[in-house]
A and B are shown apart, each in its own frame.
Chain A
Amino acid sequence: MLRFIVRRIVGMVLVLFVVSILVFLIFNVIPNSPPAQRLAGKNATPTLVKSIEEEWGFDEPLPVQYTTMMKKVFNGELIQYSPRIPVDDRIKEGIPATLSLSIGAGIIWLSLGLLLGYLSAIRAGGWLDRMLTGLAVAGISIPVFLLAPVLIYFLTYKLEIFPNGGYVGLTEDPWGWLQHMILPWFTLAVLSIGFYSRVLRSNMLDVMNEDYVRTARAKGLSERKVMTRHVLRNSLIPITTLFGLDFGATIAGTAIITEVLFNIEGIGSYAAESIGKLELPPIMGITLYGAFFVVFINALVDIAYAYLDPRVRLGSTAR
């Protein structure tokens, strides 16, 4: 197990390095225009551009430029230029909202997905089963930017059930926080529920054919015990991997769009605001941190998977 962990962490560090190189290339090397001009933003004064050029050392060789950039990112010296605010401060402000949204949605889609998947596996072919197939297909076809406007229009403006967007801190006003988060949570979660229940269902149907399930039945365990203790437990292993990957991908993906749609002042909204102003330092910071977070989560998931399923760490091919 230790060997697996070490190998996986070395792999992670390598990927992190590749990620930082990629971000460096994307922002400072590949585009045609001078990098200082782009970092300064749309309406920058020549003096600002000049100072950025010196600060970032754009006349130095590329490896030196790369180290300067990474130093700036990790010392929190990345600055957005109009108005002049450290990028880290804005990102820190956005973290609670972004985490509230993603964690809440994750809990909802995982618990409902598992519950419905379990129920549809015990009664494979029933109406619930058919409905979930439909929901799974819908889930990969309906974009959040369709679902959110429809929900906001009907539930917020027409029926006035939910407050109109925004974010209220959990510590300031727990009830207001809940009211503001319910709709975004469901928007983000509902499309994954069908998919998760399908995956759990097919895993369970596979596991039900295993010999140890027959053994469990043969030794006289109750059907309920067979299902929960043997079938469900073994079917959950692949789900941990899937959930970890999806959770990382959601924070760095769909959550951004959902935040914009619901006016939640999280990191995603900050990214969108910076795109609008063509302000590159925040996007550089968010891309790097986001990618680091995702790569880190993926490594964590692999380690958890190896812990849960010894076959993985004994096999020579580490994913």
Chain B
Amino acid sequence: MNSTNRDVAPAEPDAGSAGYGPWRLALRRFLRNRVAVAFLILFFLIVLFVLAAPLWANHVAHTGPNEGHTLEKLHVNGEVREVVTPEGKPIGPQLFEAEGKFFLGADSRLGRDEMVRLMYGGRTSLLIGVISGLITTLLAVVLGLLAGYYKGWVDAVIARTLDVLWSLPVLLFGIAIGTSLALGGVSIGPIHIEGGSIWVPILIISIFYTPYVARPIRGEVLSLGEKEFVEAAIAQGAGPLRVMFGELLPNLASTIVVFFALNIANNMLFEAALSFLGAGVQPPNSSWGTMITVGEELLTTQPLLAIIPGVMIMLTVLSLNIVGDGLRDALDPRSKVRLEAHAGMTEPQGAAV
């Protein structure tokens, strides 16, 4: 794990390899970080796994994620196995014994296929993580650019708002919004969001995680604003929009990429927490968080039902965290802020791992 930080740390003789653009150099640095590359591959495998959900459901398991099979029986190697016993105990992992049906067993007394739910649940979890990551990043970049470029009262308003949002207990407000919107949903202008839709958690996550990305971006815009190239652009007659999006934005690209990866990881953890408590993804739909809630009731008899979705969350989040760290090393070898910045401690006081 340590190698994430160590292998890349010594400054490279970049000056010698003229002719390569900064992105090409960064790519080379990233590829040299074996741990990060390995976890990037793991992340792609997880994405492939959840994308394959309909294939597995239609051609192997022959069932949907929300279909119950309570009273059905499986014929395995000449013996008959009940999907759910009369006592309510679901069948355990069958692997390939039943031709892929109930590969990981059934999820509860409803007798739904755990493997199919895991794949579809992963789709929901990843989708929520990525979409709210995109919204957060967009909001953060726009707010950060506005605050950092205009300074003065614009900056004061934006910075104070972000500070207040940042100091609120995220999970409590997530629960409050999630339950409050459960009946009836909400209408924002022409957009109507239903109570049980995945847009409720996406909305919650995007709003509450924006400060975590916007604050560092604002800081960077403030320091970039002092540089000569901004002054030069303004002297050439560039308007606010061109300075913000033509001059400043390209210089933020590496920060944005890194925070995007870390942000998705945090979003997924938050979604799982909300869904685990019942204020996120609503049944019968599955997400890795809701699957843990369901599985936890059978912890004594079928421990894997609670543990497997948890492991999936951990692997996804871990790979995103390590890839994000690797990207930061590759894109900005001088960067001192690593783990700390990520955990929300964006003040420079305690930097340098």
B277 x A260 contact (CB < 8 A): yes
Q: Measured between C-beta atoms, what is the minimum distance from A159 to chain B in Å?
A: 13
A32 x B352 contact (CB < 8 A): no
Q: Give the segment of B85-93, B102-110, B300-308 that binds chain A.
A: B300-308
Say yes or no for A119: interface residue by CB 8 A criterion: no
Q: Give the segment of B223-231, B233-241, B341-349 that binds chain A.
A: B341-349
Say yes or no for A295: interface residue by CB 8 A criterion: yes
B318 x A150 contact (CB < 8 A): no
- CA A257 to CA B276, docked complex, whole Å: 8
Given contacts A275-B279, A291-B173, contact A143 B307 (CB under 8 A): no
Say yes or no for B122: interface residue by CB 8 A criterion: no
Q: Measured between C-beta atoms, what is the minimum distance from A286 to chain B in Å?
A: 7
Say yes or no for A261: interface residue by CB 8 A criterion: yes
Q: Contact partner of A256 among B171, B181, B300, B303, CB < 8 A?
A: B171
A26 x B173 contact (CB < 8 A): yes
Q: Give the segment of B56-64, B112-120, B161-169 that binds chain A.
A: B161-169
Say yes or no for A298: interface residue by CB 8 A criterion: yes
The interface residues of chain A lying within 8 Å CB-to-CB of B269 are 143
A140 x B339 contact (CB < 8 A): yes
A257 x B172 contact (CB < 8 A): no
- CA A248 to CA B279, docked complex, whole Å: 21
Say yes or no for B322: interface residue by CB 8 A criterion: yes
- CA A26 to CA B208, docked complex, whole Å: 14
What interface size band does chain B fall in?
35 or more
Say yes or no for B321: interface residue by CB 8 A criterion: yes
Tell me the interface secondary structure of chain B in the complex: helix
- CA A165 to CA B100, docked complex, whole Å: 36
B321 x A153 contact (CB < 8 A): no
- CA A23 to CA B296, docked complex, whole Å: 31
Q: Measured between C-beta atoms, what is the minimum distance from B100 to chain A in Å?
A: 26
Q: Which of B232-288 contact A (CB under 8 A)?
A: 265, 269, 272-273, 276-279
A38 x B321 contact (CB < 8 A): no
Q: Contact partner of A137 among B1, B169, B192, B303, CB < 8 A?
A: B1
Q: Measured between C-beta atoms, what is the minimum distance from A270 to chain B in Å?
A: 12
Q: Contact partner of B180 among A38, A199, A253, CB < 8 A?
A: A38
B176 x A150 contact (CB < 8 A): no
The interface residues of chain A lying within 8 Å CB-to-CB of B182 are 278
Q: Contact partner of A272 among B184, B277, B289, CB < 8 A?
A: B277
Given contacts A143-B314, A198-B353, A283-B176, contact A253 B272 (CB under 8 A): no
Q: Measured between C-beta atoms, what is the minimum distance from A251 to chain B in Å?
A: 8
Q: Measured between C-beta atoms, what is the minimum distance from B306 to chain A in Å?
A: 4
Q: Measured between C-beta atoms, what is the minimum distance from B167 to chain A in Å?
A: 5
- CA A271 to CA B178, docked complex, whole Å: 12
Q: Measured between C-beta atoms, what is the minimum distance from A113 to chain B in Å?
A: 13
The interface residues of chain A lying within 8 Å CB-to-CB of B163 are 319
A257 x B351 contact (CB < 8 A): no
A287 x B352 contact (CB < 8 A): no
Q: Contact partner of B183 among A38, A253, A290, CB < 8 A?
A: A38
The interface residues of chain A lying within 8 Å CB-to-CB of B342 are 140
Per-residue CB contact flags for chain A residues 144-171 toward chain B (1 = under 8 Å, else 0) read 0110011011000100000000000000
- CA A195 to CA B4, docked complex, whole Å: 16
- CA A264 to CA B276, docked complex, whole Å: 16
The interface residues of chain B lying within 8 Å CB-to-CB of A199 are 340, 345, 350
A257 x B169 contact (CB < 8 A): no
Q: Contact partner of B277 among A275, A284, A287, CB < 8 A?
A: A275
A145 x B310 contact (CB < 8 A): yes
Q: Measured between C-beta atoms, what is the minimum distance from A95 to chain B in Å?
A: 16
Say yes or no for A213: interface residue by CB 8 A criterion: no
What interface size band does chain A fall in?
35 or more
- CA A27 to CA B161, docked complex, whole Å: 21
Q: Give the segment of A75-83, A200-208, A222-230 that binds chain B.
A: A200-208
Say yes or no for B27: interface residue by CB 8 A criterion: no
- CA A111 to CA B149, docked complex, whole Å: 43
Of all chain A residues, the one with the shortest Cβ separation from B316 is A141
Q: Which of B120-179 contact A (CB under 8 A)?
A: 163-164, 167-173, 175-179
Of all chain B residues, the one with the shortest Cβ separation from A28 is B180
B186 x A30 contact (CB < 8 A): yes
A261 x B186 contact (CB < 8 A): no
Q: Contact partner of B168 among A149, A203, A280, A291, CB < 8 A?
A: A291
A31 x B5 contact (CB < 8 A): no
The interface residues of chain A lying within 8 Å CB-to-CB of B318 are 137-138, 141-142
Of all chain A residues, the one with the shortest Cβ separation from B262 is A140
Q: Contact partner of B296 among A149, A249, A276, CB < 8 A?
A: A149
Of all chain A residues, the one with the shortest Cβ separation from B303 is A153
Q: Contact partner of A202 among B181, B306, B340, CB < 8 A?
A: B340
A278 x B345 contact (CB < 8 A): no
Of all chain B residues, the one with the shortest Cβ separation from A275 is B278
Q: Give the segment of A46-54, A55-63, A97-105, A128-136 that binds chain B.
A: A128-136
Given contacts A31-B185, A143-B314, A202-B352, contact A253 B276 (CB under 8 A): no
- CA A30 to CA B187, docked complex, whole Å: 8
- CA A134 to CA B322, docked complex, whole Å: 11
Q: Measured between C-beta atoms, what is the minimum distance from B104 to chain A in Å?
A: 15
Per-residue CB contact flags for chain A residues 272-313 toward chain B (1 = under 8 Å, else 0) read 101110101001101100110011001000000000000000
Q: Contact partner of A252 among B169, B179, B181, B186, CB < 8 A?
A: B169
A32 x B185 contact (CB < 8 A): yes
Of all chain B residues, the one with the shortest Cβ separation from A256 is B171
B173 x A242 contact (CB < 8 A): no
The interface residues of chain B lying within 8 Å CB-to-CB of A141 are 265, 314, 317-318, 321
The interface residues of chain A lying within 8 Å CB-to-CB of B17 are none
- Provide a sorted-by-A list of 25 A–B residue pairs whose CB atoms are within 8 angstroms: A18-B164, A22-B168, A26-B173, A31-B180, A31-B186, A32-B184, A133-B2, A137-B1, A138-B318, A153-B299, A153-B303, A153-B307, A198-B339, A199-B345, A202-B351, A242-B345, A242-B350, A276-B278, A278-B183, A283-B179, A284-B176, A286-B172, A287-B175, A298-B167, A319-B163
| Leading 3 A-B pairs by shortest Cβ distance | A33-B184, A146-B310, A252-B169
